Chain A
């Protein structure tokens, strides 16, 4: 199996063409992911425009400290991911294995902090449909904000769960010595996916947590 993985598939001229095809394929998938998350970002932008006060008030229920810490955790996981790719490129086996493990660990820490935040939202009665305690003039738009909050952070967390599983598979294959400097395309494209999930969070932090802290 290792020999098959290392070999150039018959439809490619050479290893470089195979590498470029893998890279392009992942970027095309990520372009569809931009549109997938883009629908929710567009909905958020439109409703924030229509209900500025409700969205600003709802935003202040979020924990900026936990959101900021999670941003640092996820950026850290992107560093370990790119170092894993670097390890694969230069054939540094221990760097590849350790950094893949650290990436999974940091991704799990992010999910843990996210779970704590979601628990607080449940206790505070901020879960639309199931347990929503806010009343008042802005209750409707505030519920809409939290609907989008749970949809966006939920789908983002799902992407992270998938990412952690994929990195786990890559780690197992790397452990068995599947990857060499000449062939490590799965490590490269997994890195692209991981960094994309990081970028989504880079935009979720200001939109959900930060821009509503002042104003109406």
Chain B
């Protein structure tokens, strides 16, 4: 495994800068519904770089991976179940009072 060093941190920082410039630049182009996909893909990539290298998750024990993954898994449950309600409200005709 590559040891953490100043050069690695600076390389990760440079990658984060490039991705930031990319996501801001792309926002000026009309991609339709794809713009959300592109913006969030770049954001997740940046978050992954920060988590793995700046927060040293790649050096951490499996237990820490479970906690970190658990945080995002529960967030996914929160968003998925909430949106399963919001997205499907109009599917069944329900007569109001």
Contacting pair A86 B40 (CB below 8 A): no
Q: Which residues of A contact B (CB under 8 A)?
A: 20, 23-24, 27-28, 30-32, 34-35, 38-39, 41-42, 45-46, 49-50, 64, 68, 71-72, 75-76, 78-79, 81-83, 86, 89, 191-192, 195-196, 198-199, 202-203, 205-207, 209-211, 213-215
In the assembled complex, the Cα of A83 lies from the Cα of B4 at a distance in Å of 10
Residues of chain B within 8 A (CB-CB) of A64 are 24, 27
7 inter-chain pairs at a CB distance below 8 angstroms, sorted by A residue, are A24-B63, A34-B75, A79-B54, A82-B54, A195-B55, A210-B39, A211-B27
Contact among A35, A203, A213 for B71, CB-based, below 8 A: A35
Contacting pair B78 A38 (CB below 8 A): yes
- Please classify the interface of chain A as helix (H, G, I), strand (E, B), loop, or mixed, using the class held by over half of its residues: helix
Residues of chain B within 8 A (CB-CB) of A195 are 50-51, 54-55
**Residue ID in chain A nearest B25 by CB atoms:** A68
Nearest Cβ distance between residue B64 and chain A, in whole angstroms? 5
**Residue ID in chain A nearest B89 by CB atoms:** A50
Residues of chain A within 8 A (CB-CB) of B47 are 199, 202-203
B91 interface residue per 8 A CB criterion: no
Residues of chain B within 8 A (CB-CB) of A31 are 67-68, 70-71, 74
Q: Which residues of B contact A (CB under 8 A)?
A: 4-6, 9-10, 12-13, 16-17, 20-21, 23-24, 27-28, 30-32, 35-36, 39-40, 42-43, 46-47, 50-51, 53-55, 60-61, 63-64, 67-68, 70-72, 74-75, 78-79, 82-83, 86-87
Contacting pair A79 B74 (CB below 8 A): no
Assuming A45-B83, A81-B54, is B74 touching A34 (CB within 8 A)?
yes
Residues of chain B within 8 A (CB-CB) of A50 are 86
Contacting pair B40 A206 (CB below 8 A): yes
Contact among B23, B35, B86 for A49, CB-based, below 8 A: B86
Given contacts A31-B67, A31-B70, 4 further A-B contacts (CB under 8 A): A83-B6, A199-B47, A202-B50, A205-B20
**Residue ID in chain A nearest B15 by CB atoms:** A75
**Residue ID in chain B nearest A92 by CB atoms:** B6
Contacting pair B32 A215 (CB below 8 A): yes
- Which of A46, A64, A82 has the most CB atoms of chain B within a 10 A radius of its CB? A82
- Which of A20, A34, A210 has the most CB atoms of chain B within a 10 A radius of its CB? A210
Residues of chain A within 8 A (CB-CB) of B24 are 64, 68, 71, 210
Residues of chain B within 8 A (CB-CB) of A32 are 71
In the assembled complex, the Cα of A89 lies from the Cα of B28 at a distance in Å of 42
Nearest Cβ distance between residue B47 and chain A, in whole angstroms? 5
Residues of chain B within 8 A (CB-CB) of A86 are 4-6, 9
Contacting pair A38 B51 (CB below 8 A): no
**Residue ID in chain A nearest B87 by CB atoms:** A49
Contact among B43, B50, B60, B67 for A28, CB-based, below 8 A: B67
